[in-house]
Amino acid sequence: MTTVDHDMLIATLDRLKLTAIRDQLDTLLDEAARSKMNLREALGFLVSREIARRDERRISMSSKLAQFPFVRELDGFDYEAQPSLDQEQIRELATCRWIAHGDTLLFLGPPGTGKTHLAVSLGREAIRQNYNVQFITAATLVAMLAKAHADGLLDKQLTLLSRPKLLIIDELGYLPFEANAAHLFFQLVSRRYEKGSILITSNRSVGEWGSVLATPLWPRRSWIAFFTTPR
């Protein structure tokens, strides 16, 4: 391949926005040659590298938008510290079928049992499967809704919080809600019901939620997926 041909190819790849192939062209072509790929195999190899780069960028950007507090993966979860956890059930949750169905998932247990680790890990799995995700603590969520209500922007804020296919609400129950805050919270739950999934982590059992939320629970029929960490 002459220098001119190479430059033209680079320009064409740039025009087509095939940036992964463009940036690694010589390396990829050398690897294809060493592996003695035919034309069809080489084309498939180049395209797969382009897709991998785009997926990597999409996941990185979506993870930033999700506002996870840290990076955690399911492979890094210490199952030995929580022997009663059903690893098969966790693997099933990682398929994200519950998100596709709009189910609600609860992780309940005392501090230090890995609830947030699991929530973040499943959120990242959801992003890999092209679901948009938002992570927020319960305290921040309530403050956000209260400010929107005071500013006359509650409906706009509820609409924004209804857009993610998965909304992760962390640490529900660490601080009790005032009655007005609980009312705002339930408006969000109602807005998202059967439209998007919610994953909630809490240090309180479901039986204690009435005192935490200062109002009766929303209908149990919305707890389609239910999971508890050991207490």
pLDDT at position 90 over 70: yes
Distance CA 137, CA 94 (A): 22
Digit-coded pLDDT (tens) for 6-50: 888 899 999 999 999 999 999 999 999 999 999 999 999 999 999
Q: Coil, strand or helix: which one is 167?
A: strand
* Mean pLDDT over the full length of the chain: 85
For residue 229, the 8-state DSSP code is -
Q: Calculate the dihedral angle through the C-alpha atoms of 123, 60, 132, 157, rounding to the nearest 10 degrees.
A: 100
**pLDDT (0 to 100) of residue 47:** 95
**pLDDT (0 to 100) of residue 210:** 54
Is 174 exposed, middle or buried (CB count within 10 Å of its CB: 0-12, 13-18, 19+)? middle
Region 96-114: mean pLDDT is: 88
Q: Residues 106, 143: contact at Cβ < 8 Å?
A: no
Query: What's the one-letter identity of residue 66?
Result: A
Digit-coded pLDDT (tens) for 52-78: 999 999 999 999 999 999 999 999 998
Digit-coded pLDDT (tens) for 138-188: 999 999 999 999 999 999 999 999 999 999 999 987 766 676 877 888 889
pLDDT at position 1 over 50: no
Query: Which residue spans of the chain are classified as CATH 3.40.50.300?
Result: 74-228
Architecture of domain 74-228: 3-Layer(aba) Sandwich (3.40)
**pLDDT (0 to 100) of residue 104:** 87
The secondary structure element, H or E, covering residue 193 is none
